[in-house]
Amino acid sequence: MEELEHKVEIEKVRKIALALLIVLGLTGLTLGFFYIRQNLTLATAIPKSATNQATFEAMAELQTKDTDKDGLSDYEELYIYNTSPYLEDSDSDEISDKIEISSGEDPNCPKGQNCLEESAVTSPYEETPRAETTVPEAVPPLIDEAYLNSMTPAQLRDLLKQSGLSDEILNNISDDDLQSLYQETLSEIKKNSATAE
């Protein structure tokens, strides 16, 4: 009888051990699943801080660089005036881009031509006539913090629209939400810049 009780006791211990082993196995599988899921999510996410920092540094470098030595930074040529940073005279009329911009002329239209009236027939590379180049009175520095902090929702909407964001999306964002997102983005950039230094 004692031997029977001993076998029953051993059988209980085995059942408890098996139950613990099953619980530990299921816990391990569950935690492993969540770990793998989290790592897959992180691996497919774009590292925004690295991308933003690299873009910021590239833009800052373009603002100080003048490849064609015409007096306009590469940043101004690429993002403001749509001229070539490699050619001192983008429209080949023997007047430098800087002089044309200073005199209110279009640096992409040769002197003596009216580029606004040209059609797709005269230029196989364009489907519509060229729009007039507007010349801002002053180009704000890329890193001017006061300028960045003073942007209005209307300016932000214009900037986002120029960057390709559709009117449908822009119309669904309130001015307060837009300003809030912009301030959060500025804070993240400042935080990432501080940690990078």
pLDDT tens, residue by residue, 137-195: 544 445 566 667 778 888 888 888 887 878 888 888 888 888 888 888 878 877 776 66
Which segment of 15-24, 47-56, 122-131 scores lowest on mean pLDDT?
Answer: 122-131
pLDDT of residue 40: 67
Whether the Cβ atoms of residue 90 and residue 83 lie closer than 8 Å to each other = yes
Place of tokens 């009216």: 114
164-173 burial, b at 16+ Cβ within 10 Å, e below that, comes to eeeeeeeeeb
Residue 22 confidence class, pLDDT cut points 50, 70, 90: very high
Helix (H) or strand (E) holding 168: helix 167-171
Mean pLDDT, the chain, whole residue set = 77
- Examine the pLDDT at 41 and tell me if it is beyond 70: no
Per-residue pLDDT at 127: 42
User: Has residue 91 got a pLDDT over 60?
Assistant: yes
Structure tokens at 42: 């992180």
Mean pLDDT of 11-16: 89
Distance CA 156, CA 163 (A): 10
Taking the model in full, what pTM does it have?
A: 0.37
What per-residue string of b and e applies to 32-42 under the rule 16 or more CB within 10 Å gives b? eeeeeeeeeee
Split at pLDDT 50, 70, 90, the class of 121 is very low
